[in-house]
Amino acid sequence: MDPLSHLLSLYPVQTALDVRCRFAAPWVLDHQGTPRGVAPYHLIVRGEAQAGAQMLQTGDIIVFPHGGAHRLHIGDPSLAAAPRSAPGLLRLASNDGDGPQTDILCGEFRFDADGSAGLLAALPEMLVVRTSGRPDAQSLRYLLRMLQEEAEAPRGGSEAIIRQLASALFALLIRTWLEQALVVPGLFGVLAERRLQAAIHGMLAAPEKPWTLEELADTSHMSRATFARLFKQAANATPAEVLTQLRMARAARLLDAGQAAGQVGEAVGYQSEAAFNRAFKRQYGVGPGAYRRRAPAG
C-alpha cells in the first residue's frame, strides 16, 4: 500500500453530498460553523464564487476542515435575495437573480473527531484545490463531471452512484492538494517531501517496530542530523512524535474493530499495557477501554 493510501486508511472519513445550488448573481450562501470533525466542502461545477479573498472558478473545490463559518457569494451580498429550497435527489437551493449563473455541489466530510485529531491538525483552516487545465487534477475533474451529471439528470441508480463517487472524493482531493500546494503542514508535509517518503512508508507499514533515528535516516540515505532537521522542518514534529501519532491512530482503528487493549498495545509496539494505556490517554484524553466502549462515531 502506498504511503498516502496507508495514512488515509488510519483516519476513515464519511462523505455526504446533499445540496445542489443554482444561483444567478447577485447571490450569497452563508454557512454556519459545524461541530468538530465535520468539514463542509463546495464543488464549483459551473461559474464562479468568491470566498473571502479567494476567487473560485469552474472546477475549483473549497473545504473548511475545521468547520469554520464562511460565506460564498457573487456580487453585493446585500442585494442578494434569500435562496429558496426544493426537495430532490439532492436538495436544490436557488434564487431569483438575473446575472451570470453559478452551480455548486455542497456536502460534508465527517471524521471521528477524536480518532482523526492528528489528521485534522495537519489540514489548514481553508483548503482550495484547482482542477481547470491542470493535468495533475484530471481524475478529480472527471469525478466532478460525473457527480454533476448524476445530480443534474438523475436516472436509475443515481443515488447509489453519487454516494460511491463521493466516497472517493476526499482521497482524490488530498492527493491533488499535495501535488499543488507550495507548503504542506504536519503529517502531509512528510508525504509531500520526497526525500522522506521511504521513512514515512516504513513507519506506516510497521508502526510496531522500535524505529531508531539512525534506522529511519538510513532508509532515506541521510545522516541522522540531516534527516532529523529535514523531518522536523517538514512535519513540525520529531520522527518519534510522528511515530507515536501513527501508532495511536492504528490503535484506535483496532479498538474500533473490537480488539482488547492488551492485544492492541502489543500490535502497535508496546511491551507494557500500562505504557500503552498512558500513551493512548495522552493522545485521546481517555484510556483504550473507555475509547472502545464509546458510542460509534456518526
| Structural domain containing residue 234 | 187-293
208 and 96 in a common domain:
no
238 and 147 in a common domain:
no
Question: Considering the entire predicted model, what is its pTM?
Answer: 0.89
Determine the pLDDT at residue 149: 93
**Alpha helical stretches, state H, the chain:** 3-9, 117-121, 138-152, 158-167, 169-180, 186-192, 197-205, 213-219, 224-235, 239-256, 261-267, 273-284, 288-293
What is the residue-wise DSSP string for 103-126? Answer: EEEEEEEEE-TTTTHHHHHTS-SS
163 and 65 in a common domain:
yes
Ranges 20-24, 73-77, 236-240, 294-298: which has the least confidence = 294-298
151 and 28 in a common domain:
yes
Return the percentage of the chain with pLDDT > 90, whole number: 81
Kindly indicate the confidence band of residue 296, based on its pLDDT and cuts at 50, 70 and 90. low
146 and 98 in a common domain:
yes
With beta carbons less than 8 A apart as the criterion, state whether 61 and 42 touch.
yes
Q: Please identify, among 139, 160, 181, the residue that sits at the C-terminal boundary of a domain.
A: 181
Is there a domain that residue 131 lies in? yes
Phi and psi torsions of 39, nearest 5°: -115, 105
Is there a domain that residue 54 lies in? yes
Q: Total domain count for the chain?
A: 2
Q: What is the CATH number of the domain that holds 243?
A: 1.10.10.60
> Tens digits of per-residue pLDDT, 101-134?
999 999 999 998 777 888 898 899 999 999 999 9
